[in-house]
């Protein structure tokens, strides 16, 4: 079916520019009755249905989504698949939450069957949420990466994932050593980075659970394997920051711990970055590193409010994408995450426009990952990762969206009231991989 071309009809919504550079209204490209033509996994044409229809190859299947929106697939820049079993765990902030809930859940991944089953469940949930690319933490076990990326490869999504590096301040059964962590990572990079659509991220959990020597080894991995990603956590919680200061008294800041090890550069993704200052924002700007804004997680763990509009200051804009950070995050839905990002922005004195929120979940996230020539936008040449959003998914949504006078208003209602129930279908690499009414295709 890949060689045969297919066209999706609906209300196409994508971006021509960043809504933080131009006015949000000017950034949007809207085709009210649009057609997205797909061939060989890529978008080959986009335009008004009435004119494009006559130019289609004779055997083109047209899938008509009516008044549903056709968006680029969502991109989740920070999430932990092994934490799906402990999403919604009560009563703790970061460090205690890790010990009480997360480490036991990750220890269960010593069993490869647990890894495989959880990877399948997690991928299903991602597709149900309209997410087609994510930067994913696995566990310390190398086979946890195999389980996840094999499933992504089977489905055809573009995923970034890595084995967690952790050589101190963690239970015995979750620690590696500098050498084991390095050697496992080298093998996994060779097996997965650039295999089909899969990409590898060197993944030291955070400064507390790696020795300086392990962080140096992570830096060596990046130097020896140009193009691989790096993901870790940064300045999420005040107790965490105090512990890092104590463990690395010679470093000038939390970010400097990573910088000293050669971990700050393009394709570095730092989760949270709530408690950072101008120096850190400048360093991320000049290095091309990304920050993953995880509002549902930061609210759930009581970590604080990310200063999105400071990070994006046009004098030295930092690359930012949205992350769900499940299991600390409370939903895999990027619509939910956009809605919570709006509330967190208000708490810091800023009004996040719906177009800005959608950009952070699609084209902006792709930009943050240096993948903005490949995914995140609906235009010829881009990979055909799409999600279809139903503005009438619930009775209340139908009632409220009927009253919308613009697509921008509709987007805001969707991000405020919507969640995975709005995702009517998900397409990855030009194939339908999820359909709300017809079940999974993958
Ligand atoms: N910091 C170190 N590990 C984690 C994790 O698993 N989740 C979150 N939210 N923060 C972390
Ligand atoms: Zn995280």
- Ligand 1 atom, smallest distance to 206 CA: 2
Give the single-character DSSP code of 199: E
Q: What are phi and psi of 37, to 5 degrees?
A: -95, 135
pLDDT of residue 442: 62
Please tell me whether residues 417 and 289 are part of one structural domain: no
- Ligand 1 atom, smallest distance to 137 CA: 6
Which of 231, 271, 302, 326 has the most ligand 1 atoms within 8 A of CB, as the residue to mutate?
A: 271
In a domain, 218, yes or no: yes
pLDDT of residue 440: 61
**Protein residue whose Cα sits closest to atom 8 of ligand 1:** 328
Which among 321, 272, 254, 269 is positioned nearest to 162, based on CA atoms?
269
If you measure from the C-alpha of residue 12 to the centroid of ligand 1, how many angstroms do you get, rounded to a whole number?
Answer: 36
Please tell me whether residues 22 and 109 are part of one structural domain: no
Please tell me whether residues 154 and 277 are part of one structural domain: yes
In a domain, 299, yes or no: yes
Q: Is residue 140 a contact partner of residue 174, using CB atoms and an 8 Å limit?
A: yes
User: How far, rounded to the nearest angstrom, does the alpha carbon of residue 442 sit from its chain's CA centroid?
Assistant: 20
If you measure from the C-alpha of residue 215 to the centroid of ligand 1, how many angstroms do you get, rounded to a whole number?
Answer: 17
Please tell me whether residues 65 and 149 are part of one structural domain: no
Which among 121, 28, 84, 8 is positioned nearest to 389, based on CA atoms?
8
pLDDT of residue 3: 60
In a domain, 232, yes or no: yes
pLDDT of residue 438: 84
In a domain, 204, yes or no: yes
Tokens 């069957």 found at: 113
- Ligand 1 atom, smallest distance to 83 CA: 6
If you measure from the C-alpha of residue 103 to the centroid of ligand 2, how many angstroms do you get, rounded to a whole number?
Answer: 13
CATH assignment of the domain containing 382: 2.30.40.10
Please tell me whether residues 226 and 95 are part of one structural domain: yes
In a domain, 347, yes or no: no
Please tell me whether residues 47 and 186 are part of one structural domain: no
Q: Name residues whose C-beta falls within 8 Å of residue 211's C-beta, 6 or more positions apart in sequence.
A: 167, 168, 178
Peptide bond into 113 cis (omega under 30): no
In a domain, 310, yes or no: yes
Which of 102, 169, 243 has the most ligand 1 atoms within 8 A of CB, as the residue to mutate?
A: 102
Using a cut of 0.95, tell me whether the model's pTM lies above it: yes
Q: How many domains in the chain?
A: 2
CATH assignment of the domain containing 128: 3.20.20.140
In a domain, 267, yes or no: yes
If you measure from the C-alpha of residue 207 to the centroid of ligand 2, how many angstroms do you get, rounded to a whole number?
Answer: 13
Taking the chain (442 residues) in consecutive chunks of 10 residues, what is each chunk's mean pLDDT? 81 98 98 98 97 92 98 99 98 98 98 98 98 99 99 98 98 98 99 98 99 98 98 98 98 98 98 98 98 99 98 98 98 98 98 98 99 98 98 98 98 98 98 88 62
Please tell me whether residues 266 and 388 are part of one structural domain: no
Rounded CA-CA distance 69/85 in Å is 31
pLDDT of residue 364: 99
ipTM over 0.95: yes
**What torsion, rounded to 10 degrees, do the Cα atoms 177, 183, 184, 190 define?**
160
Domain region containing 418 = 6-73+376-440
Reduced to 3 states (helix: H, G, I; strand: E, B; else coil), residue 87 is coil
**Protein residue whose Cα sits closest to atom 9 of ligand 1:** 328
**Protein residue whose Cα sits closest to atom 5 of ligand 1:** 98
Ligand 1 pocket (Cβ < 6 Å) reads 80, 94, 98, 102, 205-206, 233, 236, 297, 325, 328
Q: Name residues whose C-beta falls within 8 Å of residue 51's C-beta, 6 or more positions apart in sequence.
A: none
By the CB criterion, residues less than 5 angstroms from ion ligand 2 are 271, 325
If you measure from the C-alpha of residue 94 to the centroid of ligand 1, how many angstroms do you get, rounded to a whole number?
Answer: 7
Reduced to 3 states (helix: H, G, I; strand: E, B; else coil), residue 139 is coil
Summarize pLDDT for 39-81 with one digit per residue, the tens: 999 999 999 999 999 999 989 999 999 999 999 999 999 999 9
């Amino acid at each position: 079916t890949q060689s045969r071309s297919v066209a999706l009809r609906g209300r196409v919504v994508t971006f021509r520019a960043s809504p933080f550079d131009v006015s949000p209204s000017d950034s949007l490209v809207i085709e009210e009755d649009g057609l997205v033509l797909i061939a060989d996994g890529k978008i080959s044409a986009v335009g008004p249905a009435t004119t494009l229809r006559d130019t289609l190859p004779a055997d083109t299947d047209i899938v008509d989504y009516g008044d549903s929106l056709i968006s680029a697939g969502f991109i989740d820049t920070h999430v932990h698949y092994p934490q799906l079993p402990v999403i919604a765990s009560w009563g703790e902030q970061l460090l205690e939450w890790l010990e009480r809930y997360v480490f036991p859940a990750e220890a269960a991944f010593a069993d490869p069957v647990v890894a495989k089953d959880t990877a399948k469940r997690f991928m299903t949930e991602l597709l149900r949420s309209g997410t087609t690319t994510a930067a994913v933490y696995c566990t310390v076990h190398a086979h946890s990466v195999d389980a996840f990326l094999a499933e992504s490869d089977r489905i055809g999504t573009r995923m970034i994932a890595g084995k967690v590096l952790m050589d101190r301040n963690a239970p015995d059964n979750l620690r590696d050593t500098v050498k084991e962590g390095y050697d496992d990572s080298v093998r996994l990079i060779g097996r997965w980075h650039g295999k089909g659509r899969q990409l590898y991220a060197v993944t030291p959990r955070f400064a507390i659970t790696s020795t300086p020597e392990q962080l140096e080894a992570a830096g060596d991995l990046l130097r020896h394997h140009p193009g691989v990603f790096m993901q870790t956590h940064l300045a999420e919680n005040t107790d965490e920051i105090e512990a890092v200061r104590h463990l690395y008294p010679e470093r000038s800041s939390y970010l400097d711990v990573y910088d000293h090890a050669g971990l700050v550069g393009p394709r570095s993704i730092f989760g949270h970055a709530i408690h950072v200052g101008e120096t850190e924002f400048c360093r991320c700007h000049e290095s091309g590193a990304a920050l993953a804004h995880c509002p549902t997680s930061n609210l759930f763990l009581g970590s604080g409010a990310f200063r999105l509009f400071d990070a994006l200051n046009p004098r030295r804009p930092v690359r930012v994408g949205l992350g769900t950070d499940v299991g600390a995050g409370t939903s895999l839905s990027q619509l939910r995450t956009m809605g919570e990002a709006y509330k967190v922005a208000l708490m810091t004195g800023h009004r996040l426009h719906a177009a800005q929120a959608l950009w952070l979940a699609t084209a902006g996230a792709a930009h943050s990952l240096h993948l903005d020539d490949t995914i995140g936008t609906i235009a010829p040449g881009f990979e055909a990762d799409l999600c279809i959003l139903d503005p009438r998914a619930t009775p209340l949504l139908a009632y409220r969206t009927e009253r919308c006078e613009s697509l921008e208003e509709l987007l805001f209602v969707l991000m405020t009231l919507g969640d995975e129930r709005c995702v009517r279908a998900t397409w990855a690499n030009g194939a339908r991989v999820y359909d709300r009414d017809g079940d999974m295709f993958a």
